[in-house]
Amino acid sequence: MTDDVRIETDGKAGRIRLNRPKAIHALNTPMCIAMAKALDEWRGDTAIEAVLIDHAEGRGFCAGGDIRMVAESGAGDGSAAREFFRQEYRMNHRLFTYAKPVVTFMDGITMGGGVGISLPAKYRVATENTKLAMPETGIGLFPDVGGGWYLSRLPGRMGEYLALTGARIDGADCLALGLATHYLPSDRLDEAKRRIAEDPQAVDTVLGELSVQPPESKIMADQQAIDRLFAADRLEDIYVALEEDGGEWANAQLTTLRTKSPQTMKVALKLLADGRTMPTFEDEMRQEFAVAAHVCQRHDFIEGVRAVIVDKDNDPKWNPATPEAVSAHMIDQIFAPLPDDEAWTPQG
């Protein structure tokens, strides 16, 4: 299928090993298809009792998706971009609904698409190397791959804070927020994988025995400020709260927000507000696909990728340039459902 992901079996475990080191294992369409196919094959295989997801060579777990390709497609007819999102979200949904235990090892950079293959897993292992973020608003995209579902279920307004600012959090933060289920030193991961592959029924015991107490969570120290200053569902109101606070931390967040796409920050806020009451994860992915299909062809995404990834001048010219200029009508257009023959479905 593709050399970018290694599909293996090890004892009683299926192994999915991301293997695109030069791109920090960012997902592309063939990788998503290969992962979904492996999950389908293992679902009915009684010899496979658990699935382990990690990366093979190189640093980082997964830096996201193949954003450059998506932007190039979005600048044209968008068909390759839509196919990528369609297959990625199908693979995300397979993981979310998988009956056998899935263990992900978030050792290193875990961003965007990497979050999308981590959070559906029953067991999510963070380490001292974990750097998790949903940084999409900085490139005119939005926290997808189920971001509207997962982030809206975090304590207080943590989800809104992470979605808008793209803040990077570490392994201790992930455990404190419930994004990770266990915290292991990275030098114990090989032992964990070996023991789980030998006896998948003992996964709770294995991860429990190898876990250690993490350092103190830094993000939890800011929880009261986050809940207070990011309390609104209107972006303009969050700006006002930060401006009126005037403290060093609030000013730093305001400076960060002013570098992000106002359009996709508003998209993110609506996504999380909607996500709280989504009936199922399938409904969430259907909505996110419609939003992705629209956003990937809009100016801010093409411009954001140009500024951050292609030219690397880090000076995107957002249009609209301010939160006030992003109309409710514009957001409604982005969230408009697709026709039935174009809409996302869990199966091909």
In a domain, 273, yes or no: yes
In a domain, 346, yes or no: no
For 326, half-sphere exposure in the C-beta direction (CA atoms, 13 angstrom radius) is: 24
Residues 120, 97: Cα–Cα separation, whole Å: 8
Q: What is the pLDDT of residue 58?
A: 82
In a domain, 213, yes or no: yes
Long-range contact set of residues 92-96: C-beta below 8 Å, sequence gap at least 24 = 92/116, 92/117, 92/120, 92/145, 92/146, 92/285, 93/281, 93/282, 93/285, 93/346, 94/35, 94/36, 94/39, 94/40, 94/346, 95/39, 95/120, 95/121, 96/120, 96/146, 96/281
Nearest to 101 by CA among 83, 121, 81: 121
The answer to whether the pTM exceeds 0.85 is yes
In a domain, 166, yes or no: yes
Q: Which domain holds residue 309?
A: 5-334
Full pLDDT tens readout for the chain, 348 residues: 689 999 999 999 999 999 999 999 999 999 999 999 999 999 999 999 999 999 998 889 999 999 999 999 999 999 999 999 999 999 999 999 999 999 999 999 999 999 999 999 999 999 999 999 999 999 999 999 999 999 999 999 999 999 999 999 999 999 999 999 999 999 999 999 999 999 999 999 999 999 999 999 999 999 999 999 999 999 999 999 999 999 999 999 999 999 999 999 999 999 999 999 999 999 999 999 999 999 999 999 999 999 999 999 999 999 999 999 999 999 999 999 999 999 999 997
In a domain, 85, yes or no: yes
Tokens representing 50 are 């658990």
Structural domains of the chain, count = 1
Tokens 């939160």 -> residue: 323
Catalytic residue check, 136: yes
Catalytic residue check, 113: yes
**Total Cβ atoms within 10 A of residue 167:** 19
Q: Which residue is catalytic, options 144, 173, 288, 300?
A: 144
Q: Which residue is catalytic, options 66, 136, 173, 300?
A: 136
CB neighbour class for 250 (10 Å; exposed up to 12, middle 13-18, buried from 19) = middle
Three-state DSSP at 111 gives strand
CATH code of the domain in which 119 resides: 3.90.226.10
Q: Which residue is catalytic, options 14, 60, 64, 65?
A: 65
Q: Which residue is catalytic, options 14, 74, 108, 113?
A: 113
Residues 305, 316: Cα–Cα separation, whole Å: 9
